[in-house]
Amino acid sequence: MTSPIPSPATPDCCAEFARATGVSRRGFLQGVGAAGLSYAVGSAVVTVAGASSAAADGVGGNGVLVVLSMRGAADGLSLVVPHGDPIYYKARPTIAIPSEKLLAKDAFFGLHPALAPLVPMWSAGTMAAVHATGMQVPNRSHFAAMEVVEDADPGSSERVGWLNRLIGELPGESPLQGLALGAEAPTSMFGPQPTMGFASLDKAVIAGADSQTDPNDPRMKSMAAMWRRTRSPLKESVQSSMAAVGQLTAVRKSADTSASYPNSDLGKALSSIARTLRGNVGVSVVTVDQGDWDMHSSLGTLQWGRMIDNADDFAKSVAAFFNDLGPLADQVTLVTLSEFGRRVVENSNAGLDHGWGNVMFLFGAGVKGGYFGNWPGLSNTLDADLTVTTDYRSVLAEVVERRTGASAAKVFPGGPSARVGAMRTT
C-alpha cells in the first residue's frame, strides 16, 4: 500500500466514529486524505478520487462498475432467444421471434433484432449474455424479489445493498464514489456508506448559493450550520450533496454529448454518467434504472408492442454510452439485472406472467464476449419457468473480482463459489 491516505483501524470503528460525531465516514476520510494529498501532490484534491487512487494503490483493477436494473422483470427469452430449443416456438405461437430474424446467432441462441445497435460490441467481443440466471429459489413478487436481489445477503436481516458493501470495500474517498442515476434510492446502494445521486448534471447544485465551490458562501454556511446536528433522515444526503456539488461544477464544464443518445430516461441517464466519468471525480460504482419491463400484456411481436420499443431504447442507449466513453470505455463495465424472468408460455394477451430465470448482459471492460450459461431446457406447461442454473451472484462476483479488486466474499456473504467465465482473467 502506497496510498498517502491513512487507513482507519477497521471500517467498523470508522462507521461508529461517523455516527458518533455526525461526520460521514467519507467526509472524515476526505478531510484526512486531502491534507495528506495536498502534501504529496499539491492542491489537486479534485483529481484524487476512488477509481484513480485504487489504481495507484495497485489493488487490482481500477474499473468502474455500472449496474443497469431492468425494472419490472424483463423477458430474457425475448432478448436472448433460445431458437435451438423447440419448446420456445411451441410455447409462444404469437410472440416468439422468428429464428431467421435473430442477430449474432449461434446454433442455439440469437439476439432480439432490436439489439442491432449492440452488434458491433458483440462482434468486438465486449458483450456477453449469461442465460438462465437468477435467484436460487423463485420469488415472483416484484417488490420482495428486488429487495432480495439487491441486498444479495440472504443470511442477514440488515438492509444493506451489495453495492454499498462494495463501496465499503473499495479504496477512495470521493463523495461521488457511489452514484445513483434515475431511481430515488435503489436498495442496492442502501447502507452505511454515503452515496450520491442526481437526476441530471444541471440539477446537481445547491440552489441559492452564488458559488458551488466556496464554503463561505452565505447559503453554504447556513446549510452547513443547520444540517450539522439533526436526526433528519435527509441529513446524510444533504451533506453528500454539499460535498459533491463543487466537483460536479467541474464536471459540467466537459462537453454535453447527450444528443448522441436516445431522448429517453435511460439515454439521458447514461449520458450524464458518461459526462461525470469523463470528469474524473472518483466515481467507482453507478446504478441506473430503466423501468417498464413488466409485460403481462402487449409484449408483442417484431411489428408492435412494448418489447420492441423497450429493447430498442435499451440497445441504442447502451451503444451510445460506450461510443461516448471513447478511451474511457476500457475502464467501464456495465452489467444488467432484472428482479426475475417471465414464464415460458405466453398468455392470452400477448404477454407473460411472472417467472423465474432470466438473462444478464455484460458489456465493456474485461468482458469475454459470447453466450454463457447452462441451458436447462424449456417445458411447455401453463406455469413453466426458465429454470435457474446460474446464481446471479456468480456473475456479479466475477465482475467484482476481475474489475474492482474487492473481495467477492465480503460483497456477497455466503455467495456461490462457482464462476461463469464471462470475464477475462487478464
Partner 1 sequence: MPGKYKPQRYPATPKLNGRHRQIASRFTYGITQPVVASVKQAGGGLPWARQQIAHAYSDVAGDLAKSDWWPSQHDDAQQVWKNQTSGMRGSWEVMWDYSRRLMIRRMLSENQLLEIMTEFWEGHLHVACNSDPQSFWRVSYGDVIRKHALGRFDEMLKEAALHPAMLLYLDAGVSTKAHPNENLGRELLELHTVGVGHYTEDDVKNASRILTGYKIDMWNTWAFKYSPDDHWTGAVQVGDFSDPNSNADGQQVALDMIHYLAHRPETAQRIALKLCYKFVGDDPSDELVNTLAQTYLANDTDIVPVILRLLRSREFNRSRDNKLRDPAEDLVAAWRAIGATMAAPSTDADAANDMIWQVGAIGLMPMAWPTPDGQPLTNGAWASPRRAMASMQSHWNLAGGWWPTSGVTYKPRASWAPEPSDAVEGPITFGQLVDHMARLVHGKPSTQSVLKACSKAAQVPPDEKITTGHRAVGSRLPYVLATLLDHPTFYSR
Residues at the contact surface with partner 1, assessed by CB under 8 A: 71-72, 140-144, 180, 184-185, 190, 195-199, 203-208, 218-219, 221-223, 225-227, 229-238, 240-241, 244-245, 291-292, 294, 296-297, 345, 347-349, 351, 353-354, 382-383
Question: Which residues have a Cβ under 8 Å from the Cβ of 304 and sit 6 or more positions away?
Answer: none
Least gap, CB of 207 to partner 1 (angstroms): 4
* Minimum CB distance to partner 1 smaller for 295 or for 334: 295
Q: Residue 189 or residue 395: which is nearer to partner 1 going by CB?
A: 189
Task: Count CA atoms within 13 Å of residue 40 on its CB side.
Answer: 15
Least Å distance between CB 259 and partner 1? 22
50: amino acid identity, one letter = G
Least distance CB 402 / partner 1 (angstroms): 29
DSSP labels, 8-29: PS-HHHHHHHHHHHT--HHHHH
Residue 203 identity: K
Task: Specify whether the CB–CB gap between 329 and 322 falls below 8 A.
Answer: yes
For partner 1, the closer CB: 94 or 257: 94
> Which three cell numbers, joined as nine digits, stand for 103?
442477430
Residue closer to partner 1, measured from CB, 62 or 174: 174
Question: Residue 226 or 409: which CB sits closer to partner 1?
Answer: 226
What is the smallest separation between the CB atom of 374 and partner 1, expressed in angstroms? 25
Residue 15 to residue 104: CA distance in whole angstroms: 48
Torsion angle, alpha carbons of 191, 195, 199, 205, to 10:
140
Contact call for residues 269 and 316 (beta carbons, < 8 A): no
Burial call 269-295: b when 16+ CB within 10 Å, e when fewer: bbbbbbbbbbbbbbbbbbbbbbeebbb
Residue 354: DSSP 8-state = B
In this structure, are residues 209 and 193 in contact, taking their beta carbons and an 8 Å threshold?
Answer: no
Q: In whole angstroms, how close is the CB of 62 to partner 1 at the nearest point?
A: 24
CA triple 95-262-126, angle to 5 deg: 75
Cβ-based nearer residue to partner 1, 350 or 397? 350
Measured between alpha carbons, how far is 120 from 129 in angstroms, rounded to an integer? 15
By beta-carbon proximity to partner 1, the closer residue of 90 and 101 is: 90
Nearest distance from C-beta of residue 313 to partner 1, angstroms:
15
Q: Smallest distance from the beta carbon of 382 to partner 1, in angstroms?
A: 7
Cβ 238 to partner 1, closest distance in Å? 5
Shortest Cβ 118–partner 1 spacing (Å)? 25
Closest by alpha carbon to 92, among 341, 343, 302, 357?
Answer: 343
In this structure, the number of other CB atoms found within 10 A of the CB of residue 381 comes to 12
Q: 332 - beta bridge partners?
A: 64
State the nearest-atom distance from the C-beta of 241 to partner 1, in Å: 5
Distance CA 85, CA 306 (A): 24
Region of 283 on the Ramachandran plot (φ > 0 left; ψ -120 to 50 alpha; else beta): beta
**Closest CB to partner 1 among residues 126, 358:** 358
What's the min distance (Å) between Cβ of 209 and partner 1?
A: 9
Q: Which is nearer to partner 1, 105 or 219 (CB)?
A: 219
Nearer to partner 1, 87 or 206 (CB): 206
Q: Indicate the helix (H) or strand (E) that contains 289.
A: strand 285-290
Would you mind telling me the total number of residues written for the chain in this entry? 426
Q: In a 10 Å sphere around its CB, with 0-12 CB exposed, 13-18 middle and 19+ buried, how is residue 219 labelled?
A: middle
| Closer residue to partner 1, CB minimum distance, 44 or 185 | 185
